[in-house]
Structure 1
Amino acid sequence: MNEEAWTAVSAIATAAAFLVVSWQAILTRKALDLSQGVALDAAWARLDNGAPQVSVHLEDPKWPLWAHSQHGMPCNEWPRGHQWHFPRDEWQSLVLQAVVVVENRSSRQIKGRFEGDLIVEQDARPVAAPSPVLIPAADGDTPHVMRVYLQKTLTAKELSENHLADEAGQDLPHRAVGTITLHDDRDNGVVDTWTISLTGCPLRPHENLGNVWVEVGDNLTGDPGRRSLTYERLPNRKRTYWVSRERGVPLGPHG
């Protein structure tokens, strides 16, 4: 066999060997990925099984809208049929409020953190929800329940801006927003977070009077004006998995 033929055979053999090695590497990588995936699935499942049994939900918001009070929690509804004449009454305040219910059904206490527009009532006054706070364990089959308020005071002008944004197909600019974070004391565990929001368009322009705004009323089918508010009774939970919370080492998001 001449030299050129040997060169060709050698090149083919080298290419074939490279392909074999590359294919083996691919198979090895796939096996490692599969093994790692199985291990992660097992770790996620273990942490899910050991996670504290907690839940967060909203009660229906207060309706009709309440008036802001300088001396404590809002306690008076705006009169039915009240009219806000702009620009004279743009500054008048209205309160969006819903009760947020946190339930701990676990046999151990958990730690809660409340951020944003979340408050509690103290001596008839609104104060920021305590954070961090320990939430006691359930009493047998009876969960421990903690209630806080998602509450924000908005002006009539801000609520009119919500209406105009909705008419334009835009996101509503003014809302009450809060974040609730719950976890137990385990370093290798999970942290559950809920972001809750309350907004809407409870004011609308008067049908016949320019620059006058009124509260949305009941419709012909009897649905109350509360339908103008936007909220989720069961907000989505975001779960974070930790190899070590203390060292800041996450396990990674669930696949």
Structure 2
Amino acid sequence: MHPHVHIDLTGKRALVTGSSQGIGLAIATGLARAGASVVLTGRDPGRLEAAAAGIDGEVTTVAGDVVSDEGTAALLAAVPDVDVLVNNLGIFGAQPALEITDDEWRPYFETNVLTAVRLTRAYLPGMRDRGWGRVQYIASDSAVVVPAEMIHYGMSKTALLAVSRGFAKEAAGSGVTVNSVIAGPTHTGGVEDFVRSLVGDELAWDEAQHEFMRLHRPQSLLQRLIEPEEIANMCVYLASPLASATTGGALRVDGGYVDAILP
């Protein structure tokens, strides 16, 4: 975050799902830097503890699979209220469209969409009662420009845009804002593996990244992968009092990938 933009989240508790690595960890780190008390979630206790150790601030971890009813119940028991909810948890992968089975479609909806709906349903009423809160959904350029090899993933991210807009209406006039963030192709460990699956292991990383963008994401105006911290900057802003008039939106941190002026 730019040093001349003062964001103070002292006294606020923020929960970021899927936050042991990648974009989720970058968001949690940025929120903690702004003064928020941060809750990290994920399935692997060891990875969560390692992630928490790298954050300077008040951090707690809750290990469990929030895709399941049991995992969600455990999280809600440990963390009954939050001021900021960032629904970041998601899965992705490539598969020829006509080869995606019903059993492969379901986890994309259950993980990427239904988990976010369930947590919003749990935490939004408390935010509304207190007259302040922030709910965010980490969507993707794939929500708008659906890749032919990832239509199950694209579907889930398009659904998040509808979910976000709908819950923003539910929160109207309450002091709670609800937004989605359209993240473009981002440099994470999982994306490195994905890039390699498409362009091979022979090239050095910089060359592989360039080849991936040239062949598979030529619409990008940035012409490079986005760093997780660049996504986090938008999320920290949206979590702050500075973004009090921004709600019901789909804000792009996509490197100009989506060829449209709006959103």
TM over 0.5: no
Higher helix residue share? 2
TM bracket, shorter-chain basis:
under 0.3
Larger Rg, first or second structure (1 or 2): 1
Q: TM-score, normalised by structure 1?
A: 0.28
- TM-score with structure 2 length normalisation? 0.27
